[in-house]
């Protein structure tokens, strides 16, 4: 029986592309919301979840850092997907036929130069894959979607222009989540992700971070966000290089724990080759 991997969005979304590239043997399961993705794994409907956490152009994905610690799921891999944006039209259409390009609000500004050059009006859609589906259903040669090559494949659209984004660096980082943790050392270069809350003492965060500096552990990400709707309750999300069994990481985490009221490891997993 083929396993499943859940993602947020419609077929053809960039999250769907991440599933295909990272877990080609698993059947992609589209879900309406991030909460639905997590529930699909929690309930056993899916074996893994593919969740976007940050983008090189727009920063972190809203709500994900809030959802992960409470999900009960574990990070088992990371994946980087290059966001190439294409102009998709109904079969037989040409670029000069297009009057309206539909896509998610964050994709439209990334193609501003191309749209302006060809006199195409950008129109906001809730989702780029949904835009592709609706263009296919409408069948109007004046309408196009800004989406992935996969969306063209899924909805039978023609790719009228490829890679039309203004910047050539737009990349999204995804985390693969599972019900079961896997802390085995599966690669030479490993990452450890955790969340923590510092104790209510002066300079607690400064002291908590000191262990990583003195032990030579590289912290690649540190973000803070409010919890429980309180301005005084702050949780921190961190990625560090290394495995908890590495002596420097072990010592740094021990020192961190001394200054925290809560510490939870969300995952230990290999670095994606596209990271370096």
Provide the annotated active-site residues: 172, 174
The dihedral of CA 156, 158, 162, 164: what is its sign? negative
C-alpha triplet 164, 98, 83: angle, nearest 5°: 25
**Euclidean distance between CA atoms 187 and 202, whole angstroms:** 39
Which among 59, 57, 21, 61 has a CA at the least distance from the CA of 37? 61
Q: Which residue has the tokens 């069948």?
A: 139
Cα 191 to Cα 58, 204, 205, 211, 239, distances in angstroms = 23, 24, 21, 17, 7
In angstroms, rounded to a whole number, what is the distance separating the alpha carbons of residues 1 and 98?
Answer: 44
Sorted by sequence, the CB contacts under 8 Å of residue 200 that are 6+ apart come out as 261
- Enclosing H/E stretch for 209: helix 204-214
Q: If DSSP codes are grouped into helix, strand and coil, which group holds residue 124?
A: strand
Whether 115 and 109 have beta carbons less than 8 Å apart is answered as no
Backbone angles phi, psi at 78, to 5 degrees: -125, 160
Q: What's the rounded Cα separation, in Å, for the pair 75 and 118?
A: 43
**Residue 189 phi/psi, 5° resolution?**
-105, 115
**Helices 204-214 and 247-258: crossing angle, nearest 10°?**
170
């Amino acid at each position: 029986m083929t396993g499943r991997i859940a993602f947020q969005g419609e077929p053809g979304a960039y999250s769907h592309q991440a599933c295909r590239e990272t877990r080609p043997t698993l059947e992609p399961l589209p879900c309406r919301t991030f909460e639905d993705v997590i529930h699909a794994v929690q309930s056993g409907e899916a074996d893994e979840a593919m969740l976007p956490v940050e983008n090189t152009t727009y920063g972190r994905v809203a709500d994900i850092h809030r959802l992960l610690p409470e999900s009960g799921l574990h990070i088992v891999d990371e994946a980087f997907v290059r966001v190439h944006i294409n102009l998709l039209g109904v079969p037989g259409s040409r670029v000069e036929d297009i009057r309206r390009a539909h896509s998610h609000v964050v994709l439209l500004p990334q193609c501003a130069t191309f749209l302006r050059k060809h006199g195409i009006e950008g129109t906001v859609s809730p989702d780029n894959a949904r835009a592709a589906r609706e263009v296919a259903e409408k069948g109007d040669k004046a309408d196009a979607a800004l989406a992935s090559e996969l969306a063209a494949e899924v909805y039978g659209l023609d790719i009228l222009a490829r890679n039309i984004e203004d910047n050539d660096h737009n990349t999204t980082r995804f985390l693969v989540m599972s019900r079961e943790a896997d802390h085995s050392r599966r690669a030479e270069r490993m990452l450890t992700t955790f969340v923590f809350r510092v104790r209510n003492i002066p300079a607690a965060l400064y002291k908590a971070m000191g262990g990583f500096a003195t032990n030579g552990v590289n912290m690649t990400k540190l973000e803070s966000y409010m919890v429980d709707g309180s301005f005084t309750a702050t949780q921190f999300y961190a990625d560090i290089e290394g495995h908890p069994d590495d002596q420097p990481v072990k010592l740094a985490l021990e020192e961190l724990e001394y200054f925290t009221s809560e510490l939870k490891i969300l995952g230990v997993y290999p670095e994606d080759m596209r990271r370096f």
